[in-house]
Amino acid sequence: MKKKVAIIGSGNIGTDLMIKIIRTSEVLEMGCFVGIDAASDGLARAQRMGVDICATGIDGLIKMPIWKEIEVVFDATSAKAHLYNFGKMEAYPKKKMVDLTPAAVGPYFVPAVNGDSSLSEKLGLTVDLSEDNRVNVNMVTCGGQATIPIVAAVSRVAKVHYGEIVASIASKSAGPGTRANIDEFTETTSEAIEKVGGATKGKAIIILNPAEPPLVMRDTVFTLSDQADKEEIRKSVHNMVAEVQKYVPGYTLHQEVQFDNIPESEPVFIEGVGYKSGLKTTVLLQVIGAGHYLPEYAGNLDIMTSAAMAVGEKLVKV
């Protein structure tokens, strides 16, 4: 039997997630789609699809009869709004929350990394998802979902001293919520590169590309690690890409993995770490959206909703 879920946030991300669940999930069922604007396109679409709607936010959702049946709440609002929404769930400890905002209240979760028990144990990423534990899983950011698996792939072969990611997304795919959370994006992603990716120091950069026609999401990952077998790192990266593709089919390597040696005689300076030599690994990625609701160029949004659905499915199976 499918488990009922609610989505708070009737914008692009929430709407895409709703359609993904309806069309593709074998274990999740839409219980209610929630917003704060009764005239929003997302609520109108949900209603046309036969989904119960609520236009008065989480306060209204809690008062609805369907609330008793909801097991997982997806929050696709904003970092600030999430703090309010999660606070309202204080009285309902058995209901689980998946946070698609950069609020970073709960533990970071990247399915391809946290879902690997051996890798999770090595990086100290075990997250208690049991029914008796109040769960608020944070999905980091779109850039984090795309790039942190690669940092982790290098980390399982060699110690990563520094991880830097550059996420380039189509300007048209960045709505007001994304634009309002740019600072949170960089801070949350940088921290998750360290906590989930395993890097000693992380840095994140986001670029809103105004090109016309819009370009698909492109990500570049740089790591500086201890010297290691290059073939082992290449194999680890390819395995990780295959793991992410299980829930994001449009996630691919744009070029083959590249390596550069940083000799001990010419170390580079890393703020907060010091001078380091070793092996520089460069990975170039491309993310094409599934086109369930958003255009294919909006891979940045698609990877968030795909990852969130994967975590939601994991939560109801615990």
Least confident of 100-114, 127-141, 252-266: 127-141
∠ CA 236-278-154, nearest 5°, is 15
Whether the predicted pLDDT of 132 surpasses 60: no
Q: In this predicted structure, what is the pLDDT of residue 306?
A: 97
Could you report the per-residue pLDDT of 61-95, keeping only the tens digit for each?
999 999 999 999 999 998 899 999 999 998 998 89
Instruction: Name the catalytic one among 5, 43, 142, 304.
Output: 142
Confidence of residue 317 (pLDDT cuts 50, 70, 90): confident
Give the contacts of 117 (CB within 8 A, at least 6 positions apart). none
Active site residue 54: no
Both tokens of 250, joined, read 């449009």
pLDDT tops 90 at residue 174: no
- In order of start, what are the domains of the chain with their CATH numbers? 3-140+302-317 (3.40.50.720), 142-298 (3.30.360.10)
Rounded CA gap, 99 and 108, in Å? 9
- Which residue intervals of the chain are DSSP H helices? 12-24, 41-48, 57-63, 79-88, 111-114, 117-123, 142-155, 176-180, 182-195, 230-245, 299-317
Name the average pLDDT for the chain: 93
- Of the candidates 228, 223, 182, 178, the one whose C-alpha atom is nearest the C-alpha of residue 202 is 223
Instruction: Report whether pLDDT(60) > 90.
Output: yes
DSSP symbol at 2: P
DSSP secondary structure of 93-157: TTSEEEE-STT--S-B--HHHHT-HHHHHHHT------TTS--EEE---HHHHHHHHHHHHHHTT
- Position 198 scores a pLDDT of 96
Section 136-161 average pLDDT: 96
